[in-house]
Chains A and B, each alone.
Chain A
């Protein structure tokens, strides 16, 4: 069963013709070529596929895009303002807050929601907001520091 979907991703409207059982993650990567969002566990246990729907983090591996028509979907590709990186991206780059980098897109998106709601979070609030984003390299200290740095800029 295939259908035409109208998706709004990173401020742009897209029309795609896809099977209804494709997840948002698959449609983003395979049909819209937005490969910044990563495949991880595929079962909602790692957080690397985190994208924003109407500004709130959700796991794209467990989301059906057919349900998200008319919603504002934001991926890591939509984080920068043109050629200017988002302050979070700058902070992550400056502090080397990515080791292998595989969790980074999801961490950035969850961090963006946190800073949008709470521009100056405490370390505990950062930990709580990023609790669902696992870093296999266990590089959490740098990640927390980078979010704190971004919150000061």
Chain B
């Protein structure tokens, strides 16, 4: 691994100030993504090789799960995925999030990987992760997946760059209407997760609205409304160490089998977690059955523009929408 300077942050403000001082600094929490990035020696304007690592594990009180029936759920950004998945408060009130938190990677990675890191991780496109491919995301002027191997790439909202967002917890958090608490040079601010991620057309060099010197500090999930059900499902090729071919998070209020209101969010299909608003509109006010769910799936995937090798994802996405939606009433 390349050498770097190592700082231990004492507070969020300290970490933000240090990030401001060093243009190529990276923060490290669990380290399972950032150290791999450094080892691969990936570099470019959107991915500078870190010469400074700022450890935020040394900041006090950053790993916690607080649940309150009126305030909802507060997760410290450095809470490990294992801790989130095993929390009885999360399992009981947000089953979709609990399942999403146990879905990434392997047990030993979830023991160090944090919920904040799972949201902020960089995409896994093999051209992006290959040092020899100067793609758009690394500041180049080409997307190698368009004419290359694109079986794991985007079927929705791809343009310029066809990455898919790799996070399992992000779709779950968007489905649950969660909000990010962010610390920056001007203090703390809140950003709803459905406005947190940006696609390549907005800025191909990054995946979120956060600036270099802004840090995700806390995740806030509102208390579930009455009759809310939530679910997370993920289709992978392998049982472990695998990112989603397609994943889905659904959270909805369902009364007597009728969808009152809710969110459907897909992972693994687009450069950001994909809020399937067409599906949500098709489901609103309907008594849920397989036909209604299939209509919601078709309304969503009619917009798909698969690449040369990933049309199979369209079928998976349709099927997973039907499965996830109907599972809420079974």
Within 8 Å CB of B2, what residues of A?
Answer: 21
Tell yes or no: A87 within 8 A of B by CB: no
Tell yes or no: B70 within 8 A of A by CB: no
A129 and B110 alpha carbons, distance in the complex (Å): 12
Query: When the two chains form the complex, which single residue of A20, A42, A44, A110 contacts B6, counting CB atoms closer than 8 Å?
Result: A20
Beyond A43-B39, A44-B36, A64-B28, whether A59 also contacts B107 by CB under 8 A is: no
Within 8 Å CB of A43, what residues of B?
Answer: 36, 39-40
The interface on chain A, measured as residues whose beta carbon lies within 8 A of the other chain's beta carbons, has a size of 29
B106 and A131 form a contact (CB under 8 A): yes
B112 and A131 form a contact (CB under 8 A): no
Beyond A1-B5, A21-B2, A132-B241, whether A47 also contacts B106 by CB under 8 A is: yes
A132 and B106 form a contact (CB under 8 A): yes
Query: When the two chains form the complex, which single residue of B5, B35, B107 contacts A131, counting CB atoms closer than 8 Å?
Result: B107
B111 and A20 form a contact (CB under 8 A): no
Over the window 38-63 of chain A, the binary record of Cβ atoms lying under 8 Å from chain B Cβ atoms (1 yes, 0 no) is 00001111010010000011110011
Tell yes or no: B108 within 8 A of A by CB: yes
A4 and B210 alpha carbons, distance in the complex (Å): 35
**Contact count band on B:** 20 to 34
A126 and B278 alpha carbons, distance in the complex (Å): 42
A128 and B4 form a contact (CB under 8 A): no
List CB contacts (< 8 Å) of B228-253 with chain A.
239-241
B5 and A132 form a contact (CB under 8 A): no
Tell yes or no: A23 within 8 A of B by CB: yes
Tell yes or no: B44 within 8 A of A by CB: no
Within 8 Å CB of A67, what residues of B?
Answer: 55, 57
A50 and B112 form a contact (CB under 8 A): no
B31 and A63 form a contact (CB under 8 A): yes
Within 8 Å CB of B32, what residues of A?
Answer: 44, 59, 62
A63 and B112 form a contact (CB under 8 A): yes
A44 and B107 alpha carbons, distance in the complex (Å): 11
Tell yes or no: A66 within 8 A of B by CB: yes
Over the window 10-42 of chain B, the binary record of Cβ atoms lying under 8 Å from chain A Cβ atoms (1 yes, 0 no) is 000000000000000000100110011011100
A62 and B110 alpha carbons, distance in the complex (Å): 12
Tell yes or no: B69 within 8 A of A by CB: no
A33 and B28 alpha carbons, distance in the complex (Å): 27
A64 and B36 alpha carbons, distance in the complex (Å): 12
Tell yes or no: A19 within 8 A of B by CB: yes
Within 8 Å CB of A64, what residues of B?
Answer: 6, 28, 31, 35, 53, 55
B1 and A132 form a contact (CB under 8 A): no
A64 and B50 alpha carbons, distance in the complex (Å): 15
Identify the closest chain A residue to B38 (Cβ).
A21
Identify the closest chain A residue to B2 (Cβ).
A21
B107 and A129 form a contact (CB under 8 A): yes
Within 8 Å CB of A110, what residues of B?
Answer: 107-108
Within 8 Å CB of A128, what residues of B?
Answer: 107
Identify the closest chain A residue to B110 (Cβ).
A132
Knowing that A129-B107, A132-B108 are A-B contacts, what are 4 other residue pairs whose CB atoms are under 8 Å apart, sorted by A's residue number?
Answer: A1-B5, A1-B6, A20-B4, A62-B32
Instruction: Enumerate 28 A-B pairs (CB-CB under 8 Å) in ascending A order.
Output: A1-B3, A1-B6, A3-B6, A19-B3, A43-B39, A45-B241, A50-B108, A56-B111, A59-B32, A59-B109, A62-B32, A62-B35, A62-B109, A64-B31, A64-B53, A64-B55, A67-B57, A110-B108, A128-B107, A129-B107, A131-B106, A132-B105, A132-B106, A132-B107, A132-B109, A132-B240, A132-B241, A133-B106
The residues of A with any CB-CB pair to B shorter than 8 Å are: 1, 3, 19-23, 42-45, 47, 50, 56-59, 62-64, 66-67, 110, 128-129, 131-134
